[in-house]
Structures are given as C-alpha cells and as structure tokens.
Amino acid sequence: MPESEKTHIFITGATGYIGGSVLSALLSHPKAKSFRITVLTRSPDKVASFNSVGVIAVVGSNQDLEKLTELARNSDVVIACADSDDLQAAKAILLGLKQRYDKTDEVPILIHTSGTGVLIDDAAGNYVTDKIYSDLDIPMIESLPKTQPHREVDIEVVAADQKGYVRTYIILPSTIYGIANTPMVKLGIQNPYSKQIPALITAGIDRKQGGVVGKGLNLWPNIHINDTATLYTTIFDAATKGPAEAGHGREGFYFGANGEHRVGRISEIIAQLLHEMKLGKSPEPTVFTEEELRKYFGGPYMGSNSRVRAERAKLIGWNPVHSVDSLWASLKPETDAIAEMQNI
C-alpha cells in the first residue's frame, strides 16, 4: 500500500506502560499493514529497536512543543499516552491537528489519555463514598471542578472537538495492574510496570513494613493492562470508522475499569507478602505518616475514593476479560518483581 493511502498514527508515551501496550496492540491489529506509526522517544538508543518493528521513531519529548505540533499536523490519528496533566503538550498537539484540518478539510482524531484520578476526593482512607460516576452521565462529569487532576486538560480537549476541527476521545483508565508482557517489553523499550501498586510495594520495602493510608476503607476501580490495550483499540476502531460510530467530544469520555477494590486490601496483602519475604516486620500494615505520604506518593492521593461505571466503551464492543480476581492474583508476582529490581 502506498504511504499516502495509509492511516498515519502518532503515539506519545510509547515507551511507557500504557503507550507501549497500545503500540503493541496496534502492531498486531488486523489492519496493521495499513498503518504508518510514528512515536516520540527521549532515548536515541531506542530508535533502532522501534525501526526493527516498522515504527518510525522521532527523538524528543512532551517539552518539544514545535515537534509535537509538526508530528500531529502530519497525522490522521494522534494517541496521547504521555503526561495527562501536561496542558502545553495537549495544546501543541491540538494546534497541529487544527493545522491539518485547515490544510486538508478532513477532521483528524485525537485519543487522549486522562484517568479516573479526576474523580478523587479527600477521604484519606477513612471512608467510602457513595458517589459513583457513569461515563454516560455527561452532566455529572461536567460538574467536576477545573481544579481536579487531569480536568484542565480534559476541558481543553473537549473544547477542541466542539470547534469542529478534531474529533476527540478521552480514555480514563483506573488502577491499572499486571506486568506488561508485550513485544515492546521484550525489545527493552517499554516500561512493564504500573504506578500505584508498585508505589505501595516500593514504599513498604523502603520503610521495612507494608503501609496503609488511614483506615484503608477507600475504593478504586481497576483494569488489567491487557484490557487497557483493547480499550484503546476498540475506541480506535470505532473512531476511524466514522463520527457516528462512537461518542466524541462531550460524549467522548470512556472509563477504563472492570472491577472495584478496597485500596486497604491491597495494602494488607502487600504487607503479608513482604513479611513472608522477611522484608516487613509485621504481616499487618501500619498507617503511613503524612510525611511518608508526601515522600512515597506526593500526597494523600492513595487514600482517595474514585468510583465509576465503565459503560460507554462496552456499547461499542469493548469486552474486558480480567475481573478483580486477576488483581489479587497479580500482587505476588508484582511484589516479587519489585523486590528483585531492588536487588533484595
């Protein structure tokens, strides 16, 4: 197929946990031969590895705003998997997509990564909220203040869709778990680990005792990394078929979740595992101090509630296969891997 007839896709964050998994899923997509995929990488050393699987790699980062604009301008679809709070990067990408629209009169697509962290409260682990957000309830989502994490960028992305020069789809993964095992990981160019659970494990190892935020009563949704990748490809498939196939803009919020857990239960299991490995003094977690919360997590984030019903993507065919049981099963291999990484 001539290059001019291919779907030009630009991915940011392709060396990350989410981005690398999405890239791997696109490379194994039934229509992969019709894709021309470009990624951004900070490391010149990774360019050859990307090239080896037919991916064009450009050296740069989210801070290279002109480069982001140029790469977006040359793309039919942008999948942004880097920093979900980087407003300047989002604006640079949107500028490039507007320039593309102005030149071609065709509406490009932006699939932007946000997160259910936009819903967090200040529970500090001490209570469960009854407030549950559905991604079909647009007024409820729009009631979120601009001060919430990710929200300012989400608002900018939706506004661009309303102006008509781009179709936007915002994916909001929840607690993603599981060690990624993709071709990108095997090539040594993708981070295989998530953030939240490894942070709890790392904190427990460092303080020589598993920890919990407050009473550990707060609830979060969860999603396996493989189901996260299929969420992106499901939305990509619908978006590229046409504007009527899936909600976009105001109606383009897609929660990524297939289960819910008490965060304190994760802390309890990690504390028990660390104790069995002789890396924790007690099988019962102890409460993180405020200083420890700042040190290990940048604040009380891990004690918040974030509750969702992920319904919109299922209406267009997303079929997650991992339940919360997979989350519990993932904790031992994750703990073993983090301990091994720290040469313990």
Walk me through the domains of the chain, giving residue ranges and CATH numbers: 3-121+132-195+222-257+307-315 (3.40.50.720)
What pLDDT is recorded for position 344?
A: 64
CA distance 282 to 201: 14
- Give the H or E element holding residue 175: strand 175-177
17 within 8 A of 225, measured Cβ to Cβ: yes
What pLDDT is recorded for position 343?
A: 74
What pLDDT is recorded for position 155?
A: 98
CA distance 310 to 134: 6
Which has the closest alpha carbon to 77: 133, 17, 26? 26
Q: Tell me the per-residue pLDDT of 65-79, one tens digit each, with 9 for 90 and over.
A: 999 999 999 999 999
What pLDDT is recorded for position 60?
A: 96
CA distance 57 to 179: 24
The phi, psi pair for 255, rounded to 5°, reads -70, 140
50: Cβ contacts below 8 Å, ≥ 6 apart: 14, 39, 41, 56, 57, 189
In a 3-state reduction of DSSP, which class is residue 329? helix
Which residues in the chain show pLDDT less than 70? Answer: 344
**DSSP label at 125?**
T
**DSSP label at 289?**
P
